[in-house]
A and B are shown apart, each in its own frame.
Chain A
Amino acid sequence: MIALETHDLTVTYRKRPVLYGIDVAIPEGNLIGIVGPNGAGKSTLIKAVMGVVRSTGGWVKVFGKPVKQSLPRIGYVPQRESIDWEFPVTVMDVALMGTYGKLGPFRWVGEAQRRKAREALERVGMLPYAKRQIGNLSGGQQQRVFLARALAQDSDLYLMDEPFAGVDAATESAIVELLKDLRSKGKTVIVVHHDLQSAREYFDMLLLLNMRVVAFGPTAEVFTTELLQKTYGGRLTILSEMAEKAAREGIGKIHPKNEP
């Protein structure tokens, strides 16, 4: 079954196109890496799938349904950016938030939720820190707490934006094991990742992204010098300028995927 499908997904920030005509169909039960240079639109793609940023065109389906209806089946780990680390919540509180989705508004958090949160923290090795305020953690530990929150959500599709940023090698391999474990349980895990070398080892499939899908397929097939150069090379700058200009002048949408 297809876990995530997008069709002609397009996002512009104040008329500046960031993603054009993204078509992907990601099969269930895989570990998928999204790679591409800074500003390629990786975070934007994930946010557009989540509906956090509005797309200007196209559609997204998750498990065959519009995202709104599938939200309870999605776990989202954002890029560690806009969190206020002075916020008065503990590691446990954050993990508990993962259980809120399946908790009605009138129900209090109970032992079942606490157990689930503790299990999730245990799996990322953060249980000993459960009572710490989140500001009193290292960057890698903070990252693991947000991973635990996603685990507590008990989702079928995970979208993770650079979960390895600022994480040491030991933690990184522990997280990778965790992701593989999720996959073996039939979950789909989509990870934005920066290191090409390890991307090749970690992922079953790769999505090479630079404003549009450069390639998507099994890692062995798409991890080629030519495709990587196409992803990271500067050839797209003129394209992006023209697309931006067209949008600004109101001439219409340029679709790079139709270009030769």
Chain B
Amino acid sequence: MNVILAEGLSGLSGTVMALIASLALGVTSGLLGTYVVLRRESLFGDMLSHAVFPGVVGGFFVSGWMARMGWVESEKNPLVILSCALVAGVLGALVVTVLGYTTRLKQDARLGVVLSVFFAAGIAMFGFGQPAGVNGFLYGQTGAIDATDLVLVLGAAAIVVVSILIFHRPLLVVSFDDGFAHNLGYRVMGLTLMFSVLLTMAVVVAMQAVGVVLVSAMLITPAATAHLMTDRFPRMMMLSVLFTVGAGVIGTLISGTKEGLATGPVIALCATAIFVTAYLFAPRYGLVARFWHDRSQRKRIQRENILKDLYRVLEREGFPAEGASVSAFAAERRLDPGSAERELKMLEGAGDLIRGNGGEKLVLSEEGWGHASRVVRNHRLWELYLTNEAEYQADHVHDDAEIVEHLLGEEAIKRLEEELGFPETDPHGSPIPQPSSTPPQPTS
């Protein structure tokens, strides 16, 4: 079946094959990368990519030997090479695990030890035969992928996708809380081992695209980017796949435009570009979003404070129909005429304020009344709540209310009102308004 599939695929052009490969690799690495990042095993991926290297070099030797014996046709049979790589990777993972059970060394130290010795062995072995083609694995060359490679890549992707479909819940629980996974009757060791094998497989096939050293670029960077963007596991997984595929495809296309430009580094740079973009522009946790959020928050608070003070002036004067004077407003806010004018301009711009009598008289619009009455109500309700329920002194509650008035939602207000028995005045005796788009009717 392999052969038939390979023959069917061999009709495709090199670029198309490279693109299909990076797509499949993106799905594989993106899915597994999510778990790797959440399990805090990012360095584990790095260790694997180094540990498979002696397997690759050994694979070239074995494949060459088998070709001489007439067992395989090509000296560079990818199935043989990748199998050897897989064995080396799993061996590396096993050594790390066994060291964990038998020594006091922490994971990072164990990874460091294993990573360097395996990689060194690979390089040393390379010195003996210098098989041509190993470079492709060191730096990555999607362009060199042929139909047989592609079948392997697709096969690995299929295995990973199916395994995750079947085991997504156990894998999630094991990654989150392995004690509880045990409680649920999951075989924690088995799952961990299965995950290591899947991961090694992903590393082995990704290696052809990005090279051993840069496998993290496919495995870690996109998943880490996704973690910046969401608090939901399924969404993180989707984004991770999206970013890995994006980096893979774009990187492949770019590196195809120039002879001698290795694919791995380009893909790594693309993945990092996506990371930086998310770091800056992610909707909730990005720098820019946080900046805008803070800024608009400050603006809203400022607007509500101005409206509240204007409301107070109007209230003191009995809500005159012609409005309040600019000077009374400036006095209430303790501002010089220039600053008062700027604040009034802001309210006008927001549609809260209508100015009459050549700009001298300040009247609130319907929207302005709505906002002002709401914030005044919040302030007074909160003061009342603090004095009544939390038993603060009446003169201690104002500053607190200055903050909370901007935070209370309608739902919290409902609960407050119920708890306080729908009060009409605050602790200082001022009436608590109901939100309304017209001036309150003076109580007789």
Q: Which residues of A contact B (CB under 8 A)?
A: 14, 47, 50-52, 68, 71-72, 74-76, 78, 82-84, 86-90, 93, 97, 100-101, 103, 105-106, 133, 149, 153
Contact of B227 among A14, A88, A93, A106 (CB under 8 A): A88
A84 touches B40 (CB 8 A): yes
A84 touches B173 (CB 8 A): no
- If A50-B179, A72-B185, A74-B183 touch, does A106 touch B166 (CB 8 Å cutoff)? yes
Q: What residues of B have a CB within 8 angstroms of the CB of A68 in the complex?
A: 185
B170: nearest chain-A partner, CB-CB: A105
A87 to B185, CA, bound (A): 22
A87 touches B184 (CB 8 A): no
In the assembled complex, the CB of A212 is this many whole angstroms from the nearest CB of chain B, namely: 24
In this assembly, does B176 line the interface, its C-beta being within 8 Å of a C-beta of chain A?
yes
Q: What residues of A have a CB within 8 angstroms of the CB of B182 in the complex?
A: 50-52, 71
- If A88-B236, A105-B170 touch, does A97 touch B227 (CB 8 Å cutoff)? no
A106 to B104, CA, bound (A): 39
A1 to B166, CA, bound (A): 38
B230 touches A100 (CB 8 A): no
Tell me which of A50, A89, A90, A153 has the highest count of chain B C-beta atoms within 10 A of its own C-beta: A89
Contact of B231 among A52, A71, A90, A101 (CB under 8 A): A90
Q: What residues of B have a CB within 8 angstroms of the CB of A93 in the complex?
A: 233
A109: nearest chain-B partner, CB-CB: B169
Contact of B38 among A47, A51, A84 (CB under 8 A): A84
A84 touches B176 (CB 8 A): yes
Interface 1/0s, chain B 204-247, versus A by CB < 8 A?
00000000000000000000000100111101100000000000
In the assembled complex, the CB of A116 is this many whole angstroms from the nearest CB of chain B, namely: 15
- If A88-B227, A105-B167, A105-B169 touch, does A100 touch B179 (CB 8 Å cutoff)? no
B179 touches A47 (CB 8 A): yes
A51 to B189, CA, bound (A): 13
In the assembled complex, the CB of A254 is this many whole angstroms from the nearest CB of chain B, namely: 24
Contact of B180 among A90, A97, A105 (CB under 8 A): A97
Q: What residues of B have a CB within 8 angstroms of the CB of A51 in the complex?
A: 182
In this assembly, does B177 line the interface, its C-beta being within 8 Å of a C-beta of chain A?
yes
In the assembled complex, the CB of A143 is this many whole angstroms from the nearest CB of chain B, namely: 14
Known: A87-B175, A97-B176, A105-B167. 12 other contacts (CB 8 A): A50-B179, A50-B182, A71-B182, A71-B183, A76-B179, A84-B176, A86-B227, A88-B231, A97-B173, A97-B180, A100-B169, A100-B184
A149 touches B180 (CB 8 A): yes
Q: What residues of A have a CB within 8 angstroms of the CB of B104 in the complex?
A: 14
B232 touches A75 (CB 8 A): no
A176 to B266, CA, bound (A): 59
Q: What residues of B have a CB within 8 angstroms of the CB of A103 in the complex?
A: 169
Q: What residues of B have a CB within 8 angstroms of the CB of A47 in the complex?
A: 179
Q: List 30 A-B contacts (CB under 8 A).
A: A14-B104, A50-B179, A50-B182, A51-B182, A52-B182, A68-B185, A71-B182, A71-B184, A72-B185, A74-B183, A76-B183, A78-B179, A82-B177, A84-B40, A84-B176, A87-B175, A88-B227, A88-B231, A88-B236, A89-B172, A89-B233, A97-B180, A97-B184, A100-B169, A100-B184, A101-B183, A103-B169, A105-B170, A106-B166, A133-B231
Q: What residues of A have a CB within 8 angstroms of the CB of B172 in the complex?
A: 89
Tell me which of B104, B176, B182 has the highest count of chain A C-beta atoms within 10 A of its own C-beta: B176
A74 to B167, CA, bound (A): 22
B230 touches A78 (CB 8 A): no
B179 touches A89 (CB 8 A): no
Q: Which residues of B contact A (CB under 8 A)?
A: 38, 40, 104, 166-167, 169-170, 172-173, 175-177, 179-180, 182-185, 227, 230-233, 235-236
A220 to B206, CA, bound (A): 66
Tell me which of B177, B185, B232 has the highest count of chain A C-beta atoms within 10 A of its own C-beta: B177
Q: What residues of B have a CB within 8 angstroms of the CB of A50 in the complex?
A: 179, 182-183
B180 touches A87 (CB 8 A): no
Contact of A78 among B38, B177, B235, B236 (CB under 8 A): B177
A105 touches B176 (CB 8 A): no
A100 to B169, CA, bound (A): 8
Contact of B184 among A78, A82, A101 (CB under 8 A): A101
A76 to B180, CA, bound (A): 7
B34: nearest chain-A partner, CB-CB: A88
B165: nearest chain-A partner, CB-CB: A106
In the assembled complex, the CB of A124 is this many whole angstroms from the nearest CB of chain B, namely: 17
In the assembled complex, the CB of B110 is this many whole angstroms from the nearest CB of chain A, namely: 16
Contact of A75 among B38, B179, B183, B227 (CB under 8 A): B183
A93 to B183, CA, bound (A): 17
In the assembled complex, the CB of B278 is this many whole angstroms from the nearest CB of chain A, namely: 15
B167: nearest chain-A partner, CB-CB: A105
5 closest Cβ contacts across the A-B interface?
A: A133-B231, A76-B183, A101-B184, A71-B185, A88-B233
In the assembled complex, the CB of B186 is this many whole angstroms from the nearest CB of chain A, namely: 9
B183 touches A83 (CB 8 A): no
- If A97-B173, A100-B169 touch, does A88 touch B38 (CB 8 Å cutoff)? yes
In the assembled complex, the CB of A44 is this many whole angstroms from the nearest CB of chain B, namely: 13
